[in-house]
Every structure is written in structure tokens, then in C-alpha cells.
Amino acid sequence: MRPMNLEEFVGQNHLLGEGRPLRRLLEAGQVPNCILYGPPGSGKTTLVRVMANVTGRKLLEVNAVTTKVAQLREVVDLARNLKKNVGKSAIVFVDEIYHFNKQQQNALLPAVERGDLILVGTTTENPYFEINKTLLSRALVFELKP
């Protein structure tokens, strides 16, 4: 059974402990554009789900291995419509974001810049080498420990 809130999430105290930066943001209802970087099994996917649950945001999931640019644009359009109709940005969760090529990463950029969505990507690879620099400059990087 996966944790549903911050109290149930075990580990990653450097990010989620009392008074730590990510915890303070989430408790204030804010989710930054971010990349969660860490080894398999470190809780990246679980943390994304907790982030959505704690802040009451819709979670739209995309797997970078199987998603094409056209499908990605559909998700971006859905997120834009959700923000327009609900007034709150959805979290677009891109699992294994390092698998996206430059064109796919660039397809996210306008929506991220406009605030149409909140981008949360996960990766086991160093994001400073694998993620488009322009996209990376608009996101915080949080490293999860094993």
C-alpha cells in the first residue's frame, strides 16, 4: 500500500522532514515544476502521487518510453483545459523523462512557461546531462537518496 500523505511517506527527510523546502511548499498547496532524480526504488513515483494528493491537484501520467509527441500534446491540452475550467494547474507527471528526445521535451516548454501545467519528471539518470537545458532551467531538481 502506497503512502497517501507526507506523514505516511518514509524516508527522504532531507526533502520532506519538518521545515524542509519541499515539505513547506506542499503544505502551502504549491507544487513546483521539478525533476525527481534518484535510483530505482527510492520513492520517486510514490512521491509524485503524494504531491498530487496533498495539494488536491489532478495528476496526468505520461511514460516517456511509450509516449509520442502527438499524445504529449493531447495531455498538455487536457492540462490547459483543466486549469481554465478548474482554476488549478494539473500535475503532468512524466515518468522516465530522460527518455524524451529534444522535440518531445520542447513540446512541454510553452505550457510550462505559461503555467498551464506543473511538470514533474522522474529520472534515474543525471538530469543535468539528460534534460534539455531550457526545460531544466524552469524546474527544481530534487535528489532522492536510496
Residues spanned by the domain of 94: 13-140
Instruction: Report the CATH number that the domain containing residue 34 is assigned in CATH.
Output: 3.40.50.300
Contact, 72 vs 62, CB < 8 A?
yes
Would you state the pLDDT for residue 125?
97
Average pLDDT of the chain to the nearest whole number: 96
pLDDT digits (tens, 9 = 90+) for 76-90: 999 999 999 999 999
pTM above 0.85, yes or no: yes
pLDDT digits (tens, 9 = 90+) for 93-116: 999 999 999 889 999 999 999 999
In a domain, 21, yes or no: yes
Indicate the number of domains in the chain: 1
85: exposed, middle or buried (Cβ count in 10 Å: 0-12, 13-18, 19+) = exposed
In a domain, 6, yes or no: no
In a domain, 4, yes or no: no
Among candidate residues 101, 110, 111, the one with its CA nearest the CA of residue 81: 111
Contact, 52 vs 119, CB < 8 A?
no
Mean pLDDT calculated for residue range 62-91? 96
